[in-house]
């Protein structure tokens, strides 16, 4: 007999050493809990030689549960910001072989046969998991969530990869309850949203690709359909930001790679830019707590990033140009100590419970349509409009903000030049959010010009960074005189470089202003 259902799961990767502690989690506020059960699950995933099922976002496996074998088909296997929503069909089978004839859902069988197209099915990879589960029932509305603690490994050929996840599956009730349960169980344990399903992990392992935290995560391209609604597009953009934030949080916690804090701050800035781009169609107060938390965390990550830049890009390269008597190395040593202290402070905060609350609150907002305004009767119409129409208006608005500064470019104060640079950066984020809506040959030239303009304006930031040295330098203690001389030299050097670069910024802006606006 087959069982067909649409499952909604939240998948979180956690450090393996934290699993034992999480499994022993006691009462979760707002939920009653069943007893836990533990079992070993051995799953074999199959596909055609050309991976037809994978390409169709279908997974097909047989799993040994005790002495029985269960065959499972999942249609729609993608994971976004840790959330998967697939149609799942389970069928008991005899032995460990796939048996499509045993599936009782004719539509699912037809989809499988059409996808497989007569090809042979063969094992691709296996997973062996120790799974501990319990059911949480929400006191408020009776929502039921199955919590599964999975530890084990994925195996393909001679390759093996460990896996440690906590899955929250909504059995019945509301998505809000799902995230509330996750918040109660996960506590302060750092996590990232699982970037893919177990099936996709197996495929990647078979290809020799890494599923771990190999490197800081840059913003991934958001692929949007021009005809999809503004609301759906907003959700996809938020998911992209979430993935970047949670991944780089763990990168910062696990390494001292300078790119980690940088990409964490980029993810947070992208999130804040998304809120402002979509402000005309979302509840204006709905994102304020999230925006405040993102701004605070971005500031802490920015402190580390700024000290990275000050040390490695602003000051250290000047050692070769420093005149006799200016000891730049003393200032570098001082900055390295400040940087290490800021990094420790950031890591300490990233390991605390309020960061998990921020991330899961943002996930709840994203999946639970937290932007809805019950008093705004026009909002439904706005949210249902196409993203192509919305993007055109949003990019126009941001271009006008940049142009207001550009119209006075000859008279901008230093502070206004920085404001123009920030407006350019927000426009670039918007272009990157929406670039899939337009032909690449129209977007790339404009985006290239934007990046070049930002690079030129970046020299203004170098001056601001150099001037920051005067504020953070301790004017007393050992080496204070040497540091003060090095600070004065660094500020003067970068001010001279900026003065030589600024005319290029003005000329490049005037050329950019004349460029066709691809969104129109």
Q: Residues 268-323: pLDDT tens digits?
A: 999 999 999 999 999 989 999 999 999 999 999 999 999 998 999 889 999 888 89
Q: What is the pLDDT of the chain when averaged over all its residues?
A: 88
Say what the pLDDT of residue 5 is. 46
Q: How many beta carbons lie within 10 A of that of residue 379, not counting itself?
A: 18
**3-state SS class at 86:** strand
Look at residue 418 in the predicted model and tell me its pLDDT. Answer: 83
Measured between alpha carbons, how far is 371 from 357 in angstroms, rounded to an integer? 18
Count of beta carbons in the 10 Å neighbourhood of residue 159: 13
Structure tokens, 502? 């600024």
Domains along the chain? 2-206 (2.40.320.10), 230-514 (1.40.20.10)
The yes-or-no verdict on residue 371 having pLDDT over 90 is yes
Q: Is the dihedral of CA 70, 73, 78, 80 positive or negative?
A: negative
Helix (H, G, I), strand (E, B) or coil at 191: coil
Task: Name the pLDDT band for 175 (thresholds 50, 70, 90).
Answer: confident
Cβ pair 175, 367 in contact under 8 A: yes
Lowest mean pLDDT among 80-84, 226-230, 257-261, 426-430: 80-84
Q: How confident is the model at residue 206 (pLDDT cuts 50, 70, 90)?
A: confident
Calculate mean pLDDT across residues 232-248.
94
Whose tokens are 């249609």? That residue is 75
pLDDT on residue 86: 65
Burial class (CB in 10 A: 0-12, 13-18, 19+), 27: exposed
Instruction: Categorize the per-residue pLDDT at 213 as very low, low, confident or very high, splitting at 50, 70 and 90.
Output: low
Residues 6+ apart with CB under 8 A from 95: 69
DSSP letter for each residue of 441-486: HHHHHHHHHHHHHHHHHHHHHHHHHHHHHHHHS--SSTTHHHHHHH
Two structure tokens written together for 3? 């069982």
8 A C-beta contact, residue 359 and residue 83: no
* pLDDT the model gives residue 7: 57
Q: What is the pLDDT of residue 462?
A: 73
- Whether residue 328 is predicted with pLDDT greater than 50 in this model: the reply is yes
- For residue 36, give both structure tokens: 């836990």
Of residues 422 and 3, more confidence is placed in 422
Mean pLDDT of 23-47: 89
What confidence score (pLDDT) does residue 399 get? 95
**The model's pTM:** 0.83
With a cut of 80, say whether residue 89 has pLDDT above it.
yes
């Amino acid at each position: 007999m087959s069982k067909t259902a649409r499952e909604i799961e939240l998948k979180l990767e956690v450090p393996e050493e934290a699993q034992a502690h999480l499994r022993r989690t006691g009462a979760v506020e707002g939920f009653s809990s069943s007893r836990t059960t533990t079992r070993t699950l051995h799953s074999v995933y199959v596909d055609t030689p050309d991976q037809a099922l994978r390409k169709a976002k279908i997974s097909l496996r047989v799993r040994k549960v005790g002495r029985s074998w269960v065959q499972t088909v999942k249609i729609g296997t993608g994971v976004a910001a840790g959330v998967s929503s697939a149609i799942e069909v389970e069928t008991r089978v005899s032995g460990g072989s796939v048996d499509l004839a045993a599936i009782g859902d004719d539509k699912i069988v037809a989809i499988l046969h059409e996808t497989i197209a007569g090809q042979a099915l063969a094992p691709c990879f296996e997973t062996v998991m120790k799974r501990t589960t319990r059911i949480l029932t929400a006191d408020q509305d009776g929502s039921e969530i199955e919590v599964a603690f999975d530890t084990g490994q994925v195996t393909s050929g001679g390759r093996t990869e460990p896996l440690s996840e906590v899955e929250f599956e909504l059995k019945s009730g509301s998505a809000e309850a799902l995230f509330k349960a996750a918040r109660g169980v996960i506590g302060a344990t750092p996590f990232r949203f699982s970037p893919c399903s177990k099936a996709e992990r197996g495929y990647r392992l078979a290809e020799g690709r890494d599923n771990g935290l190999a490197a800081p995560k840059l913003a991934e391209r958001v692929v949007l359909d021009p005809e999809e609604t503004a609301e759906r597009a907003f959700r996809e953009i938020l998911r992209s930001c979430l993935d970047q934030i949670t991944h780089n949080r763990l990168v910062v916690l696990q390494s001292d790679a300078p790119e980690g804090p940088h990409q964490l701050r980029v993810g947070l800035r992208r999130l804040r830019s998304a809120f402002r781009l979509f402000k005309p169609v979302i509840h204006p107060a709905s994102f304020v707590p999230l925006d405040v938390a993102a701004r605070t965390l971005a500031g802490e990550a920015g402190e580390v990033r700024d000290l990275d830049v000050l040390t490695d890009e602003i000051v250290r390269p000047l050692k070769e140009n420093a005149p006799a008597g200016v000891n730049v190395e003393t200032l570098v040593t001082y900055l390295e100590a400040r940087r290490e202290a800021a990094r420790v402070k950031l890591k300490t905060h990233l390991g605390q419970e309020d960061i998990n609350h921020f991330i899961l609150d943002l996930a709840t907002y994203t999946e639970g349509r937290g932007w809805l305004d019950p008093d705004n009767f026009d909002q439904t119409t706005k949210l249902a409009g196409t993203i192509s129409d919305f993007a055109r208006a949003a990019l126009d608005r941001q271009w006008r903000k940049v142009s207001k500064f550009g119209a006075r470019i000859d008279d901008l104060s230093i502070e206004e030049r920085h404001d123009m640079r920030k407006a350019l950066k927000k426009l670039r984020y918007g272009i990157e959010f929406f670039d899939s809506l337009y032909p690449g040959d129209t977007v790339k030239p404009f985006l290239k010009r934007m990046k070049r303009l930002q690079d030129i304006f970046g020299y203004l930031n170098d001056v601001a960074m150099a001037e920051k040295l005067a504020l953070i330098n301790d004017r007393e203690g050992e080496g204070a005189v040497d540091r003060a001389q090095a600070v004065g030299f660094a500020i003067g050097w970068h001010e001279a470089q900026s003065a030589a670069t600024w005319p290029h910024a003005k000329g490049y802006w005037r050329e950019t202003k004349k460029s066709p606006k691809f969104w129109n």
